[in-house]
Amino acid sequence: MHVTGTAAQSAPVPQETPADPAPASRPAADPHGDSGRHARRFGLPVATALVMGNIIGGGIFLLPASVAPYGTVSLVAFGVLTVGAVALALVFGRLAERDPRTGGPYVYAREAFGDFAGFLAAWAYWITTWVSNAALAVAAVGYLDVLIPVNDHRWTACLAALVLQWLPALANFAGTRYVGAVQLVSTVLKFAPLLLVAVGGLFFFDPDNLGAFNTSGTGSVGAVSAAAGLLLFSYLGVESAAVSAGEVRNPRRNVGRATVVGTAGAALVYLLGTLSVFGTVAHDRLVESTAPFSDAVNAMFGGAWGGWAVALAALVSMTGCLNGWTLLSAQTPYAAAKDGLFPAAFARRRRGVPTVGVGVTVVLASLLTVYNYTAGSAKVFEILVLVTTFTATVPYLLATAAQLFHLLSGRRELVNPRRLARDLVVAAVAAAFSLWLVAGAGYAAVYQGVLFLFAGVIVYAVMAARRQRAH
């Protein structure tokens, strides 16, 4: 399948939707740039696939075993988190209706609170993307090793990790048409085995495998919170369509729909997949499992081919995830560069893709990957990945605060009075969810993440000084 449609202007703003409030003194973050057969804009199906593909990476394949020690109470935690994630998705949809430009949280934070808040959102999001890409590629090598032995030698594994990063980067360099095609195909391919377990497992479901409701040794509330600590970051990626709004056809309508449908779809796969694994693999075995979906497939159909099948699915899943995140890693710096808050080189685009941003991102991720293998330890990644779980929440919280600001500011052109109460409730739930994400990152991650943010303050000072001299 390929991305259908051609570059088109955003649909006219409905009477109930406020006009774009961006002041004329501020340059638009996304003028839509170039067009052509390689730079087609995403339709609703591809935008939805981008959201689902970026939310569901490789973690789903280990998730049931991770939460099994808490018992089936972890399913309750999943339900609570799903409510928060959908609320955040709805907030992004409302914000995209108001301001459908590339950049997502960066655009929303800057419009509400000024340049510095926008820069912090862009900087934090950018750090999250390229560090996560490096970690994701290294994790994917573990699944690749099941299919093709690459872990026998450290540098062979390093080379494999670099290839896994550069292949999606090449798809991005080829243009948004190819990014969308890869994303759609990889999403379909990875969902086939996931749905096999999620739906097929229900036919092999044995309640005796579930174990106790709460096996954590604490109260139910404490168990839900503890399980949620592991699950909190399963929904990172809900912002994917909003960040790429400039590449989505009719973004005022499609960004919100893609975000909500993609998040709900990912939640359904998460919940059904975890429930099916719980019901097909005995609890005591699941707690010790390193490949719960493989164990579930083997229990369902017998044999020992589950490990190979799940490894292939995980590899496809991670490659598709890398493809989507590579695009997102360049979109936010692109939007900030258009406004003079990032170096101007990040604003260059070719075939609809900010190629400089893609290049810088993949080079930084590659250097971090090489450093990881040179150090011969995964501890560097463990620390940095924990930091990204904090930095990812900074733009979420700023975007949610922007929505609350618009709703409470009393500016009628920014708010639809008929849905004010509903939007306030949704924004409050999304704000609580964002704060919960920050708390769930842990003290060490927040501490180190703040250091990353403070490094960005220096960059902002340099860029602000350049802008001042230019004026």
Q: What is the pLDDT of residues 300-336, one digit of tens each?
A: 887 767 668 777 877 887 887 887 788 778 888 888 8
Return the pLDDT at 153: 79
Return the pLDDT at 208: 86
32 domain residue, yes or no? no
Q: What is the 3-state secondary structure (H, E, C) of the chain?
A: CCCCCCCCCCCCCCCCCCCCCCCCCCCCCCCCCCCCCCCCCECHHHHHHHHHHHHCCCHHHCHHHHHHHHCCHHHHHHHHHHHHHHHHHHHHHHHHHHCCCCCCHHHHHHHHHCHHHHHHHHHHHHHHHHHHHHHHHHHHHHHHHHHCCCCCCHHHHHHHHHHHHHHHHHHHHHCHHHHHHHHHHHHHHHHHHHHHHHHHHHHHCCHHHCCCCCCCCCCHHHHHHHHHHHHHHHHCCCCHHHHCHHHECCHHHHHHHHHHHHHHHHHHHHHHHHHHHHHHCCHHHHHHCCCHHHHHHHHHHCCCCHHHHHHHHHHHHHHHHHHHHHHHHHHHHHHHHHCCCCCHHHHCCECCECHHHHHHHHHHHHHHHHHHHHHCCCHHHHHHHHHHHHHCHHHHHHHHHHHHHHHHCCCHHHCCHHHHHHHHHHHHHHHHHHHHHHHHCCHHHHHHHHHHHHHHHHHHHHHHHHHHHHC
Return the pLDDT at 375: 75
Return the pLDDT at 256: 87
Which pTM does this prediction carry? 0.77
Return the pLDDT at 26: 38
**How many structural domains compose the chain?**
1
Residue 193, domain CATH: 1.20.1740.10
393 domain residue, yes or no? yes
2 domain residue, yes or no? no
Point out the residues of the chain with pLDDT beneath 50. 1-39
Read off the pLDDT of residues 93-123 as tens digits, 9 standing for 90 and up. 889 888 888 788 999 999 999 999 999 999 9
- Please say whether the beta carbons of 194 and 269 come within 8 A: yes
Return the pLDDT at 17: 33
**CA-based nearest residue to 351, from 33, 8, 106, 105:** 33
298 domain residue, yes or no? yes
Return the pLDDT at 405: 92
CA distance 224 to 286: 19
115 domain residue, yes or no? yes
Return the pLDDT at 301: 80
312 domain residue, yes or no? yes
344 domain residue, yes or no? yes
127 domain residue, yes or no? yes
Domain that holds residue 372: 44-470
